[in-house]
């Protein structure tokens, strides 16, 4: 049984994994997004921040094909959404939850078992979700997301429900996991520090209707020291944009 994940191959000659061009999305009288332009290169981790209700989750659902724009175009390689809640099946074991994408494709759940050690879950394969800590539940949910075998990951505030200490630990864990198993990643978060620690770029959206008001590149390369002057400078710039 294979013990490694293979990153899905991108079509040759394709530079960008995700492209938004003049995108608008409405829900009745409410305009969620307007004139949104965004490009995400293959292999980038782009963090998206903005005020509540500015269309961040809508952006991810557009990438995953769960919604269609009312105007403009969205072009994306196949993507999978990891929602805010872990959405684990309470009656199923951790292994069965992680392996759900494999079972849907007619493959054995055993393909997920060798990955439990790599994701810090060894020994918990038979545990039910209520027997796992919050951080462990998120690891199972992320492993399930990876096993969907899509080149683009859309992560919607994956650590929002965790306490501050666990959230910081999970940020470091996610950073390491994505360096080991690279994917193009769009990460929606309300946590500015999380955005600048994890993101190659930080996109700031305006209040509703959301549009890009800042596109900030973060240096140095990951893993990075969250206390470094470079990281703190980007953090300050993001906060300044959010306070406008």
For residue range 166-222, list pLDDT tens digits in order: 888 889 999 998 988 889 999 999 999 999 999 999 999 999 999 999 999 998 888
Say whether both 158 and 49 belong to one domain.
yes
Say whether both 233 and 156 belong to one domain.
yes
Say whether both 171 and 134 belong to one domain.
no
Say whether both 63 and 160 belong to one domain.
yes
What is the Rg, in whole angstroms, of the alpha carbon atoms belonging to the chain?
18
Say whether both 70 and 157 belong to one domain.
yes
- H or E segment to which residue 166 belongs: helix 164-180
Cis peptide before 220 (omega within 30 of 0): yes
**What DSSP state is assigned to residue 129?**
G
Say whether both 50 and 113 belong to one domain.
no
Say whether both 140 and 155 belong to one domain.
no
CA-nearest of 229, 210, 237, 214 to 46 is 214
Residue 6 lies in a domain: no
Token pair belonging to 114: 């060798």
Say whether both 52 and 105 belong to one domain.
no
- H or E segment to which residue 229 belongs: helix 229-242
Between 85 and 198, the more confident residue is 198
For residue 172, give Cα distances in angstroms to 148, 175, 236: 22, 5, 21
**Mean residue pLDDT across the chain:** 90
Averaged pLDDT for residues 227-235: 92
CA-nearest of 146, 152, 158, 230 to 194 is 158
Residue 187 lies in a domain: yes
Token pair belonging to 1: 């049984």
Query: Residue 226 belongs to what domain range?
Result: 16-78+150-242
Residue 10 has pLDDT above 50, yes or no: no
User: How far does Cα 158 stand from its chain's mean position?
Assistant: 7
Say whether both 157 and 118 belong to one domain.
no
pTM of the model: 0.89
Residue 40 lies in a domain: yes
Given this model, what pLDDT does residue 163 score? 87
195-208 burial: b if 16+ Cβ within 10 Å, else e: bbbbbbbbbbbbeb
Residue 10 lies in a domain: no
For residue 8, give Cα distances in angstroms to 5, 96, 119: 9, 22, 19
Residue 9 lies in a domain: no
Given this model, what pLDDT does residue 84 score? 84
Are the beta carbons of 47 and 187 closer than 8 angstroms?
yes
**What DSSP state is assigned to residue 51?**
S
């Amino acid at each position: 049984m294979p013990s490694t994940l293979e990153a899905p191959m991108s079509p040759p000659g394709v530079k960008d994994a995700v492209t938004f061009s003049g995108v608008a999305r409405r829900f009745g009288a409410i305009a969620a997004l307007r004139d949104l332009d965004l490009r995400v290169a293959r292999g980038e981790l782009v963090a998206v921040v903005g005020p509540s209700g500015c269309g961040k989750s809508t952006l991810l659902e557009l990438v995953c094909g769960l919604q269609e724009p009312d105007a403009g175009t969205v072009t994306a390689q196949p993507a999978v959404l990891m929602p805010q809640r872990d959405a684990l099946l309470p009656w199923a074991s951790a292994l069965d939850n992680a392996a759900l994408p494999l079972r849907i494709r007619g493959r054995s759940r055993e393909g997920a078992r060798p990955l439990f050690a790599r994701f810090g879950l060894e020994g918990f394969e038979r545990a039910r979700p209520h027997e796992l800590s919050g951080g462990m539940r998120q690891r199972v949910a992320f492993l399930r997301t990876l096993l969907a075998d899509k080149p683009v990951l859309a992560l919607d505030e994956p650590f929002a429900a965790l306490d501050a200490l666990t959230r910081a630990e999970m940020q470091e864990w996610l950073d390491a996991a994505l360096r080991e198993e690279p994917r193009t990643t769009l990460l929606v978060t309300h946590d500015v520090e999380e955005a600048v620690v994890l993101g190659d770029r930080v996109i700031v959206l305006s209040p509703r209707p959301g549009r890009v008001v800042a596109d900030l590149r973060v240096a140095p390369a990951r893993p990075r020291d969250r206390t470094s002057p470079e990281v703190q400078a980007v953090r300050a710039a993001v906060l300044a944009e959010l306070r406008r």
